[in-house]
Amino acid sequence: QSLMSAIFTKSLKLNAKSRTQFEQGQIINLIGADTGRLYQFIGFSLDAFWSAPLQIVIAVFMLIRLMGGVPLLVGLSVLLVSVPVTFVNGLFISKVQKAKMKAKDDRVSKVKEAISGIKLVKCMAWEEYFKARISNARSVEVLKLFYGMVCYTVIIVMFLSVPLLIMLGIFGSYVLLGNTLTAVIAFPAISILN
């Protein structure tokens, strides 16, 4: 909340020249959406920077002791194949997110323009013109939202299917190497992988 308050306070202190550089829609989005994403990054992602490598090293060590190195290499190869797909989708999400925010800024600016000049709009009977402008801006924004949801769906499918494929690769290679997969091996391995 303090970051939102600081941005809002700073926006109130902008001089006339600075106000021309930033549209009102950009400032509103900065206060609402962008600060929310910053809080989300700090709250969730920052912790993973130090804990994820440690968790991976411990899990690899435990799986090697439990099942051997070859099944683990098969599981790691499945993971390595999924990394480029996730990376490319992440790049596409970044581009879509920027386009989505630009479309949102455009729509908010057009709505603000119509509202701030509502008397003139009514007097000159320009309602349909402004309605069409705002509707077109909203259509563009909805299309960008759709693209974003498709990208997020691909990411969710990847996050849900890759662990399953890794487990299938590890257990399948373990059995193909002539080992018997028992509950004593399977359940601890599943627990480590999760």
Closest CA to 154 of 84, 90, 79: 90
Tens of pLDDT along 49-91?
777 788 888 988 998 998 888 999 999 999 899 889 888 888 9
Distances (CA, A) of 75 to 89, 108, 160: 22, 48, 15
HSE of 21, CA atoms in CB hemisphere, 13 A: 6
pLDDT at 29: 67
C-alpha–C-alpha distance, residues 99 and 144, integer Å: 7
pLDDT score recorded for residue 15: 73
Over residues 19-30, mean pLDDT: 70
pLDDT for 99-142, tens place per residue?
998 998 888 888 888 888 888 888 888 889 989 999 999 999 99
Backbone angles phi, psi at 83, to 5 degrees: -65, -45
DSSP string of 81-97? HHHHHHHHHHHHHHHHH
CB count, 10 Å around CB of 69? 11
Give CA–CA dist 63/58, Å, rounded: 9
**44: pLDDT confidence band, cut at 50, 70 and 90?**
low
CA 109 to each of CA 66, 132, 188: distance values in angstroms, whole numbers, following the listed order: 60, 14, 56
